[in-house]
Amino acid sequence: MSTFENFGLHQNIIKAVHELGFESPTPIQSETIPHLMSSQQDIIATAQTGTGKTAAFGLPAIHLANPDNKNTQTLVLCPTRELCVQITRDLISYSKYLKGVNILAVYGGERIDSQIRALKKGAQIVVGTPGRTRDLINRKKLFVENIERVVLDEADEMLTMGFKQELDAILENTPKEKQTLLFSATMSPKIVSITRKFMKNSVEIAVARKNIGAENIKHVNYMVNAKDRYEVLKRIADLNPNIYGIVFCRTRRETKEIANKLMHDGYNADAIHGDLSQPQRDEVMGKFRRRSLQVLVATDVAARGLDVNDITHIINYSLPDDPEVYVHRSGRTGRAGKSGISIAIIHTRDMRKLREIERISGISFSKELAPSGRDICEKRLYALIDKIEKVEVNEEQIGPFLDNIYEKLNSFDRETLIKHFVSAEFNRYLSYYKNARDINISGGKNKRDSREPRERKTRSERQKSKFATIFINVGSRNKLTPNRLMGLINEAMDSKDAVIGSIDIMKKFSFFEIEDNRKNDVIKALNKETFEDVSLSVEISKEMPNKAPSKKEDFFTGRKKRKGGRDQKFRGKKGQKGKGGKNKRKNRSN
């Protein structure tokens, strides 16, 4: 069996590691540490978050650091401030018994002058975000011309966040003979381009994903309408009074909105997102680590670097587009041998994403019904009774008040007293969930409870509809198609009875027709939504775009004739719900 002692690490490092509770190395550590201790060869490692990457590159970097040389010897680059702080904190913990080894974090959101002063004092290991690191290099405050190794941690995330220019500029300032270590969850074409440009004769290491298909993580999905997602979130929190979880959203705006709703409704929650200052982010993170917060609402990027072992619930308020991102999210629960649950709140249109996650990761989702009002009341009631049963009674403190209490309650018999007591503690839940509706949907058809059926227009009424032309700021470049646009409209309005006319999908924007009496509703609804992480901007346009057809366009329709494919125009039958409207003989083109 492999142990940290087998690697030849300094005894003071091993002492610190054991104090932190690490007895045996993880697979990525067993593969990486021996190589770094004995070779200068570059490494390309494919490993997920939570597999022990920080110790894999950090322990050898600390062991090899020369305390007599105050210059920077190892540079670690990572995508976010939170991850930068987390890595630095871990490296400081590993090196606490070594004298003279200084580790410094440099990142945006903090005063640069204090970081410059710390650099002047000397730091053998610098951990930084690409933007601030490049800034310090340009200011000639951070010198990397003679460093011995560069670590690119979560390289795929850095490229996704648009740091390619910064990475190129930083790496071009480093010596050619350095050792480069690249850690990435995926090997995208952009990652491959970096390895070809800056790495030679690399050793490739791939380790099994730590949390995929783990038996101690249960994966559940609740299928509801989009408008009911927040109601499901509240029911999950009410059903689990001891919840300690993270709610993942797609965008900053959604994150802030959900966190504000939870706090307004009395839940112990807060948000972490890119609009917070660094002191604000540190405060929220600190409260969550101390369990002063029960629910943290976050984007994937903001949650990077949050390393907590006792997470009970991961809640996907919005499923990510990339299956690997779901793996990263769910892997934050079920750690250290404890059980956890990862919940996906989905709509019928999310089924494709769900199946893709199952196919790629080997995860199997259990489709369950969202908690009902009765489920929640029953669970909370029994939790209250259990709490009363186990409460510690301090006779000395309550003794002086007991005679008066007995006198006031003397008129109640046992059954009445229990009813009054339970009701005093429990009426809020009973009142809120008294007439709670069934919000589950199945197979795309909503269980409509006792609601009246939707009033439908006759065909003649639909044909008489007047149309307004609407501009929307996404197009084919954003993967918008007529079907996706119609789904977006229907979901935003929570209705399929709006009559949609012609649709024109351009590269960067699009136009569509909607019956005139619904135009204000659709504009208001869509302006609150996002599509492929783009905040929508929707407004009335005077008319659909027109121009005379070119030689390559059909004279009657104005469409470009394409070989082997169809254009992005869409015209439905007159008055067709959710699929089309008036068929105008306009000359149009993309």
Domain ranges of the chain: 4-206, 217-372, 375-390+397-432, 454-590
CATH class of segment(s) 454-590: alpha beta
**Contact in structure between 291 and 266 (CB atoms under 8 Å):** no
Per-residue model confidence (pLDDT) at position 494: 64
Query: Hey, what are 324's tokens?
Result: 């690997």
CA distance 346 to 354: 9
Q: In the chain, what percentage of residues exceed pLDDT 70?
A: 84
Select, from the ranges 17-21, 68-72, 346-350, 537-541, the one with the highest average predicted confidence (pLDDT): 68-72
Task: Specify the higher pLDDT residue, 287 or 556.
Answer: 287
Residue 80 has pLDDT above 50, yes or no: yes
CA distance 264 to 271: 13
Instruction: Give the mean model confidence (pLDDT) for residues 442-452.
Output: 41
Residue 51 has pLDDT above 80, yes or no: no
As beta bridge partners, residue 309 has none
Residue 576 has pLDDT above 50, yes or no: no
Encode pLDDT of 151-199 as tens digits: 999 888 788 778 888 999 999 999 988 999 998 877 777 788 888 888 8
Residues 6+ apart with CB under 8 A from 455: none
**Which CA distances in Å does 291 have to 243, 269, 281, 288, 311?**
10, 11, 15, 5, 10
Phi-psi region of 149 (alpha: psi -120 to 50; beta: other; left: phi over 0): beta
Instruction: Give the mean model confidence (pLDDT) for residues 58-79.
Output: 95
Encode pLDDT of 187-210 as tens digits: 777 788 888 888 888 898 887 544
Average pLDDT, the chain: 81
What is the full DSSP assignment across 529-557? -EETTEE--EEEESS-------TTB-TTT
Which of 252, 354, 267, 342 lies closest to 303, judged by CA? 252
Residue 129 has pLDDT above 90, yes or no: yes
Which of 157, 39, 22, 26 lies closest to 90, judged by CA? 22
CA distance 71 to 124: 6
The CATH architecture to which 217-372 belongs is 3-Layer(aba) Sandwich (3.40)
CA distance 333 to 210: 12
Length of the chain, in residues = 590
Per-residue model confidence (pLDDT) at position 49: 63
Q: Which of 399-403, 489-493, 533-537 has the lowest mean pLDDT?
A: 489-493
Task: Specify the higher pLDDT residue, 571 or 366.
Answer: 366
Per-residue model confidence (pLDDT) at position 308: 78
Residue 75 has pLDDT above 60, yes or no: yes
Task: Write down the pTM of the prediction.
Answer: 0.53
Q: Confidence band (pLDDT; 50, 70, 90) for 138?
A: very high
**Contact in structure between 362 and 213 (CB atoms under 8 Å):** yes
Query: Hey, what are 328's tokens?
Result: 């990263």
- The amino acid present at 289, given as its one-letter code, is R
- The amino acid present at 535, given as its one-letter code, is S
- DSSP-H helix ranges across 218-301: 229-239, 252-264, 278-289
- The amino acid present at 205, given as its one-letter code, is I
Q: Which of 28-42, 230-244, 570-584 has the lowest mean pLDDT?
A: 570-584
As beta bridge partners, residue 361 has none
CA distance 450 to 447: 9
* Domain 4-206 and domain 217-372 have a common topology: yes
Residue 450 has pLDDT above 50, yes or no: no
Residue 447 has pLDDT above 50, yes or no: no
- CATH 3.40.50.300 holds for 4-206: yes
Residue 432 has pLDDT above 70, yes or no: yes
Task: Specify the higher pLDDT residue, 60 or 325.
Answer: 60
Task: Specify the higher pLDDT residue, 509 or 452.
Answer: 509
CA distance 486 to 488: 5
Per-residue model confidence (pLDDT) at position 589: 37
CA distance 513 to 586: 13
DSSP 440: B
Instruction: Give the mean model confidence (pLDDT) for residues 386-400.
Output: 85
Q: Confidence band (pLDDT; 50, 70, 90) for 368?
A: very high
CA distance 314 to 387: 26
Phi-psi region of 494 (alpha: psi -120 to 50; beta: other; left: phi over 0): left
